[in-house]
Amino acid sequence: MAKILVIRFSALGDVAMTVPVLCSFANSFPQHQVVVLSRPNMAALFTQVPSNVSFRGVDVKKEYAGIKGLFRLFSLLKHEQFDFVADLHGVLRSRFLSFCFKLSGVKVACIDKERGKRKKLTAVEYKVLTPQTTSFERYALVFKQLGFSFPLSFHSIFGNEKGNIENIRSVVGYKEVHDKWIGVAPFAAHQGKVYPIELQEQVVRSLSSRENVKLFLFGGGKKEVVQLEQWQQAYPRVVSVAGKLKMAEELALMSHLDVMLAMDSGNMHLASLVGTPVVSVWGATHPYAGFMGWGQSEKNAVQISLPCRPCSIFGNKPCMRGDYACLRQITPNQIIEKVESLL
């Protein structure tokens, strides 16, 4: 039996993308043990994984901050006698830990993000618009470097079942035979990935007007909660679950949705982990960067062609045009029609 430490600290979407790979590995190698090292708030992503995968939450910003903190963390981890370390993050923190393990004789492999190819994808001039290796494939390649090859085979963290939502019935209610449940996650970490709120409201207004449709709104920040509560008050059959459910409960609810509408965001990846079709909206970023949700089809990605797209891998750069045309030129009807095609 081999014991493998897997490191991926953030962000939510990136950690979520490890799940299909780790589940595939665990099912292919049930004799080996995997320990996932990440931030404590990622624990819910790993509650439904195979029994040979465990989670270890660590606070690398406070409790184990800096070189001294990371070395203290290594000192604790080395006693667990890991045989391999898979660094799926490739940042200073994870590389430092990996280096310490390597010095102690543990075989280490680190993700190759191929930043040169990414720069060509987002270049202003001489842009090379070709699909990059997906994050799932990059993660699997790290394991291959360690000597483990396996097929990526994953459907949902709930297998062929749906998540249990009995304990949140007071929030979500009951789904009748002919009902359609739609999730809407209108926010993302950066402006370059967020469809304008006034246009998103038109989408919510239209979809909520259908009698057999119920909309569930997902979001986390204080301003987001206020915005979603306003939509809940304004439109029929709209329920905001923002701030009301834990991540595990959100995942369970997402498994009952007929479709999720999301930005290039963590919620796109959460819905993907439970096998729900996602209509994703792309602005500054692009599916070609390799961050499409697990099992999702590019035909369900709503985007327009502009010579400047994509301008960013993560959507965190200000718009060079100043008008975010990549998002504003997408019409609400384009999104509505795409959502309806999956009902």
Q: Helix, strand, coil % (nearest 5) of the chain?
A: 40, 15, 45
Buried-exposed string 280-318: b where 16+ CB fall within 10 A, e elsewhere: bbbbbbbbbbbbbbbbbeeebbbbeeeeebbbbbbbeee
Looking at 3.40.50.2000, 2.40.30.30, 3.30.460.80, 3.40.1280.10, the CATH number of the domain 3-145 comes to 3.40.50.2000
User: Would you tell me how many other CB atoms lie within 10 Å of the CB of residue 189?
Assistant: 17
- Are 3-145 and 166-340 the same fold in CATH? yes
CA 306, 312, 315, 317 torsion-angle sign: negative
Among 8-12, 21-25, 26-30, 35-39, the minimum mean pLDDT is found in 8-12
pLDDT over 90 at 222, yes or no: no
Which whole number is the average pLDDT over 154-168? 97
The 10s digit of each residue's pLDDT in 129-139 is 999 999 999 99
List the structure tokens of 242. Answer: 């923002």
Mean per-residue pLDDT of the chain = 97
What span, in angstroms and rounded, lies between the C-alpha atoms of 81 and 59?
A: 21
- Portion of the chain with pLDDT greater than 90, in percent: 98
What span, in angstroms and rounded, lies between the C-alpha atoms of 238 and 234?
A: 9
Q: Give the model's pLDDT for residue 35.
A: 99
List the structure tokens of 106. Answer: 């543990």
CATH (residue range 166-340)? 3.40.50.2000
Which whole number is the average pLDDT over 277-295? 98
Domain boundaries, the chain: 3-145, 166-340
Task: List, in order, residues 6 or more apart from 299 with CB less than 8 Å away.
Answer: none
Which whole number is the average pLDDT over 50-75? 96
Task: List, in order, residues 6 or more apart from 256 with CB less than 8 Å away.
Answer: 162, 163, 165, 172, 175, 181
- On the CB side of 26, CA atoms within 13 Å amount to 22
Check if the beta carbon of residue 9 is closer than 8 Å to that of residue 39. Answer: yes
For the chain, the C-alpha Rg in angstroms (whole number) is 21
Which whole number is the average pLDDT over 182-188? 98
- The strand pairing partners of 215, in sequence order, are 182, 238
Q: What are phi and psi of 262, to 5 degrees?
A: -145, 160
